[in-house]
A and B are shown apart, each in its own frame.
Chain A
Amino acid sequence: MNADQAADLMVDSERLAARRRRNRIRYHGTQLAIVGVAVVLVVLFAVAVKEGLARHGIRFSFSFLGNAAGFDISEGKTVVLDNGFWPALAAFSSDLTIAQAFVTGILNTIKVAVLAIVLSTVLGTLLGVGRLSTNWVIRNLCFWCVEFVRNTPLLIQLVFWYFAVVLHFPPIATAAKFYGVVISQQGLYFPAFAWQGGDAPFAIALAAAFCVALVGAFVEKIRPFRWACVAVLVAVPVVMFLAGFVELDFPVASRFNASGGVGMSPEMAALLLAIVFNSASYIAEIVRGSIDALPKGQWEAAASLGLGRRNTVNDIILPQVFRVVLPSFGNQYISLTKNTALGIAIGYPDLFNIYGTIANQTGHSLEGIVIVMVSYLILSWIISAVVGWADRRMASHGAAR
């Protein structure tokens, strides 16, 4: 290679680099322009809408959030500032602000969503595995349950659970009671642990130890330490119970409702039943599909090792399935959370229901719907993030898929 050729090559590579740079600038420029146009459009649209509203005499402002609500909400807690500083949970009352009413709705939605996510995952997995059972009765029972639930509208199932099931529980006066649980059409009441330790340092230390052990039992990687955590989890409650720091609080029925223990309103019970059964049947299909998709060799290999059916499912099949299904479960969790908005049909005060009341009593429906949409968006993002985290954790535990 002589000097000329080398210089040519240099020029070529410089030219190439320059062209790449131009291309890159053009590329980013186009992207930027598109984003810019989109932003301008959104702003123009917002201004147009705002002007249209103003012409109609409708003001767009969020200042109403600070006004006193003036209405009651049948259940749910909101965030109040204790002593004007510490946030704390307290029951909603009509003299709190409209913003706090929204918070009540969000908390009610989260309450149902979290319970439904846990319960529907368990039930759905059972149904999904059940559909592949070798037992004819179980297989067909699961099949028809799933088919029936998946092929009817959720709203109708919800109305069915509420008006045809939950509201046919006995009235509070003749409520069914067993082991301290009260089941009536005014609500379901369960015995609950009540804190009696006050602020005694020993009691608080025990409670703290319990919390630390609970976290440790899940995240601790060294086996003996994990077992130590589990032992603490068992021992501490026994000690606290014996010392009288924690007591079982039994519900007591009065004329119109029951007090004490933990109560669940009929509306929440019906919404939970409807959503759990509905989501569980979709989750069952996801689980069944993933099991079907596993190579047949996995079953055969397990059989050749002399593993029984139960061991094969528990130790070979499900661990592999759960690696694959988590993202699909995540989708299901998000849609389940959004489905809680149907609670309005039976009077459960979820976010959307409370928005309805607020929109009606204050007239700020547009601002309200913006808050509702943003809230659902954030909830969905949080669920995606948690599922994504669990997925990565699961993948890092065993061999990567």
Chain B
Amino acid sequence: MKLSKLLLAGVFAGFALAATQASASVLDKVKERGTLNCGTDNTAPGFGYLDTTTGQLEGLDIDFCKAVAAAVLGDASKVKFVTVTDKSRFDAVLTNQVDVVFAHTTMMPARESSIAIDFLPINFYDGTGIMVKADSGVTKFDELDGATICTTQGSATEIVLSSTFKARDWKNSKVLTYENLEKLFAALNSGRCNAMSTDKSALAAWAGNSPKPDDYLILPDTLDKSPFAGFVAANDSRWRNALRWVTFGLFQAEESDITQANLDEKLKSDDPFVQKFLGVGGGYGKDFGLPDDFVAQALKAVGNYGEIYDRNLGPNTKMFLDRKGTPNALWTQGGAVYSPLWN
């Protein structure tokens, strides 16, 4: 009797599992729930990092999460940060544990074709770099033939290193992978790894945040490009489109000089473009399923893309990654940060 009940329960559980998949857009679920579950890293300074002195998460990715929460729910504090690792980030979004992931994820074809995710617009242009300890005497990548180079497991760098070794015919070089950047950095410090490889921004951040930044040397070589983008589960174009245009909104606001500080002023502007962009008297939001003032809400919470960048990676931060002359500059200044037409 008991057994048959158990079996019956099992059958229902199986069907329930199957049934939960066929439901509405994540956008509706987030609005219904009233909070946004956002997957971020907490060990990547400048992107997603738990500042142990303040106990706050900070970084570019964290600010993007807040911008999305503000745009969708009208309140940047209604975001629940879920820590994901390089390894767990895809499963986290596929299993609906999080609604969106912003975790310095490199956009590449295999990820969009064989993992069921859709990328959002690129929000940071990075490259794969190499860092050694300054006292190792290594000054360029070519000297590392035969070395053990460490990186994080499941990262794009793993593949980049393998193909670089192969292209150079370095038979004795080894790739050693660790779970997260913390262990990776510890292994570099201990001397186990002759070099550490990951995205240049992360290298700069870890060296910059360490007690003695001068002990490390980031080699001039860039092994490959590494564009970062947030991502959502595939086949949900309502949710994806909404988030795409939140991101574009942050880009466009910088181009149009709308900042966190002058937002109130701009809300009173008579410029029809600014009015519609910020949702004064009807905007773009409704058809996306968002409030009309979604861009204004995001800007109020975290500012435009330039402000987000400066807050986390700008001259006043420890890692300081200069935007000038890189693809991270606005397109009007020769960079690649570009928003489609808002009209």
- The residue in chain A whose Cβ has the minimal distance to the Cβ of B165 is A72
User: Does B251 lie at the interface of the complex (its beta carbon under 8 Å from any beta carbon of A)?
Assistant: no
Contact for B191 among A44, A72, A171, CB less than 8 A: A171
Cβ of B134 within 8 Å of any chain A Cβ, yes or no, is no
Q: Which of A94, A254, A349, A364 contacts B114 (CB 8 A)?
A: A364
Bound CA span A324–B146, Å: 51
- Residues of B contacting A55 with CB < 8 Å? 21-22
How many Å lie between the Cα of A41 and that of B115 in the bound state? 28
Per-residue CB contact flags for chain A residues 149-169 toward chain B (1 = under 8 Å, else 0) read 000000000000001000110
Q: In the complex where A57-B234, A347-B177 touch, is A71 in contact with B158 (Cβ < 8 A)?
A: yes
B contact residues around A48 at 8 Å (CB): 14-15, 17-18
A73 → chain B, closest Cβ, in Å? 8
Contact A72 B175, beta carbon cutoff 8 Å: yes
Q: In the complex, are the beta carbons of A357 and B10 less than 8 A apart?
A: no
- Asked if A256 and B159 make an inter-chain contact with CB atoms under 8 angstroms apart, the answer reads no
Query: Using an 8 Å CB-CB cutoff, how does the interface string of B131-162 with A read, 1 for contact, 0 for none?
Result: 00000000000001011101001100011011
CA distance A72 to B91 in the complex (A): 23
Q: From residue 218 to 277 of chain A, which have CB atoms closer than 8 A to chain B? A: 254-257, 259, 266-267
Q: Which residues of A contact B18 (CB under 8 A)?
A: 48-49, 51-52
CB pair A361 B233 closer than 8 Å: no
Known: A44-B11, A74-B174, A347-B176. A356 touches B153 (CB 8 A): yes
Residue B29 lies at the interface, judged by CB distance under 8 Å to chain A: no
B1-35 vs A, Cβ < 8 Å mask (1 yes, 0 no): 00000010011001101101110000000000000
- B17 near A94: Cβ-Cβ < 8 Å: no
Given contacts A56-B235, A71-B175, A356-B153, contact A257 B192 (CB under 8 A): no
With both beta carbons as reference points, the residue of chain B lying nearest to A344 in the complex is identified as: B179
- Residues of chain B within 8 A (CB-CB) of A87 are none
- Is the pair A56, B94 in contact by a Cβ cutoff of 8 Å? yes
Q: Is the CB of B165 within 8 A of A185?
A: no
Distance from B13 Cβ to chain A, minimum over Cβ atoms (Å): 8
B261 at the interface (CB under 8 A from A): no
B341 near A: Cβ within 8 Å?
no
Contacts of A256 in B (CB 8 A): 144, 146-148, 172, 194
Count, chain B residues at interface, CB 8 A: 51
B166: chain A residues within 8 A (beta carbon): 93-95
Q: Is A186 an interface residue (CB 8 A)?
A: yes
B183 interface residue per 8 A CB criterion: yes
B10 pairs with A41, CB closer than 8 A: yes
- A362-B153 contact, Cβ under 8 Å, with A72-B161, A167-B191, A185-B190: no
Determine whether A377 belongs to the interface, using a CB cutoff of 8 Å to chain B. Answer: no
Q: Which residue of A lies closest to B116 (CB)?
A: A57
Residues of the A chain whose Cβ atoms lie less than 8 Å from the Cβ of B116: 56-58, 363
B8 to chain A: closest residue by CB: A41
Contact at A56–B91, with CB atoms within 8 Å? no
Q: Is A353 an interface residue (CB 8 A)?
A: yes
Determine how close the nearest CB of chain A comes to the CB of B124; give it in whole angstroms.
20
Q: Contact mask A61-75 → B, CB, 8 Å, 1/0? A: 000100000111111
CB pair B15–A362 under 8 Å, yes or no, is no
> Does any Cβ of A come within 8 Å of B187's Cβ?
yes
B90 interface residue per 8 A CB criterion: yes
Q: Return chain B residues, CB-CB under 8 Å to A16.
A: none
On chain A, the residues within 8 Å of B11 by CB distance are 41, 44
Contacts of B14 in A (CB 8 A): 41, 44-45, 48-49
Judge whether A357 and B17 touch: CB under 8 Å. Answer: no
Interface string of B295-325 (1 = CB under 8 A from A): 0000000000000000000000000000000
B286 at the interface (CB under 8 A from A): no
Minimum Cβ distance to chain A for residue B150 (Å) = 8
Contact with B along A18-58 (1 / 0, CB 8 A): 00000000000000000001100100110011011001111
Inter-chain CA distance A73–B154, complex, in Å, is: 12
Establish whether residues B194 and A56, one from each chain, have CB atoms under 8 Å apart when the complex forms.
no
A71→B162 contact, CB < 8 A: yes
Q: Which residues of B contact A382 (CB under 8 A)?
A: none
Judging by beta carbons under 8 Å apart, are A357 and B191 in contact?
A: no
Residues on the B chain within 8 Å of A361, using CB: 110, 154, 158-159
A contact residues around B148 at 8 Å (CB)? 74, 186, 256-257
Cβ of A365 under 8 Å from chain B: yes
Specify which of B7, B114, B144 lies most central, judged by the most chain A CB atoms within 10 Å of its CB: B114
In the complex, which residues of chain A have a beta carbon less than 8 angstroms from the beta carbon of B234? 56-57
Interchain CA distance A360-B90 in the complex, whole Å: 8
Encode B169-209 as 1/0 by CB contact (under 8 A) with A. Answer: 00010111111000100110011101000000000000000
29 contacts between A and B (CB under 8 A): A38-B7, A41-B10, A44-B11, A44-B14, A48-B17, A49-B14, A52-B21, A55-B21, A57-B235, A58-B94, A70-B162, A71-B162, A71-B175, A72-B158, A94-B165, A94-B166, A185-B190, A257-B148, A346-B183, A347-B153, A347-B177, A356-B154, A357-B153, A357-B177, A361-B110, A361-B154, A362-B114, A363-B115, A364-B114
Give chain B's interface residues, CB within 8 Å of chain A. Answer: 7, 10-11, 14-15, 17-18, 20-22, 86-87, 90-91, 94, 110-111, 114-116, 144, 146-148, 150, 153-154, 158-159, 161-163, 165-166, 172, 174-179, 183, 186-187, 190-192, 194, 233-235
Top 7 nearest A-B pairs by Cβ distance?
A: A360-B154, A363-B115, A48-B18, A167-B190, A57-B116, A94-B162, A363-B114
15 more A-B contacts (CB under 8 A) besides A58-B94, A345-B183, A364-B114? Answer: A38-B7, A41-B7, A44-B14, A57-B234, A70-B159, A72-B175, A74-B176, A75-B174, A347-B187, A353-B177, A356-B87, A359-B154, A360-B86, A363-B115, A363-B116
